[in-house]
Amino acid sequence: MPGYTRRQLKEDKFAETAQGAAQWATGHRMVLAVVISLVLVVVLATAGIIAWRSNQSEQANLALSSAMRTFNAQLRAPGTPANDNSLSFTSMAERGKAAAREFQEIADKYSSVKPGKIARYMQGVALLQAGDNAGAERQLKAAADSGDKDVAALAKMAQASIYRAANRISDAAAIYNDLKQHPTASVSKAQALLELAEMYEKTDPQQATSIYQQLQKENPQSAAAQVASQKLAKSK
């Protein structure tokens, strides 16, 4: 048609598209209602989960602080009366058992948030203090499988200490090498190497020397390199 401009063509096309969309919406009101409802549910659920997790974390942190006070409570001589104003125990084993119970309660109740995962790790550490190595190993393995890489790294370090005490050198070395290859904010490559070298000082001095030299070479100004230098100086 003469004089029919490009703009008019665009306007007509837009009108057709808009009309078609309106007709589709009219004929699919139920589908739209369901889709919109689902979107709202997802948004509200996400907001609810964030609020719930925040509340869970806050409560877990408060409980964790209380359990840590038990774990760090003073020791008093057997037969000495307890001070009403401060918590104390007559032995590390007694203190460890009490702290482990508190940590377990937190870990079981708040397993989905980080403070709960830390509590599981601390339960393992407290059981070590109580002299329950088998129980400690179980809880440390659970903490290592918690899905939090920082907590897992700490738990693995504690596991390695159990293996070292039991003269399971190859098992401990496997953990240190894994941590070396997968450093985290809680356990650095240098920390893993230092532990590995220290373990080898008695069983494989040459290997220990090699690791200390590696630490010196990789980052001469680091604290780990200074420790390595001290160790090498003592071995001469």
Residue 222 in domain: no
Q: Residue 7's pLDDT band (boundaries 50, 70, 90)?
A: very low
Cβ–Cβ under 8 Å, residues 130 and 70: no
Q: Which two tokens stand for residue 15?
A: 């009108």
Residue 99 in domain: yes
Residue 81 in domain: no
pLDDT at 36: 52
Say whether 108 sits in a helix, a strand or coil: helix
pLDDT, mean of residues 205-233 = 91
pLDDT at 44: 53
Residue 17 in domain: no
- Nearest in space to 196 (alpha carbons), one of 231, 147, 226, 145: 231
Q: Which two tokens stand for residue 160?
A: 């390695």
Residues 19-46 have pLDDT tens digits of: 444 444 444 455 445 555 555 554 455 4
Residue 183 in domain: no
Beta bridge partners of 88: 74
pLDDT at 219: 81
137: number of CA atoms within 13 Å, CB side?
12
Q: Tell me what the pLDDT averaged over the chain comes to.
A: 82
- Domain coverage including residue 49: 30-72+86-146
Higher pLDDT, 79 or 213: 213
pLDDT at 85: 76
Residue 204 in domain: no
- CB-based contacts of 29, cutoff 8 Å, min separation 6: none
Residue 227 in domain: no
Cβ–Cβ under 8 Å, residues 164 and 199: yes
Residues 70-112 have pLDDT tens digits of: 999 999 888 788 877 789 999 999 999 999 999 999 999 999 8
Beta bridge partners of 75: 89
Residue 201 in domain: no
pLDDT, mean of residues 123-146 = 94
Report the C-alpha gap between 55 and 61 in whole angstroms: 10
Query: Domain count of the chain?
Result: 1
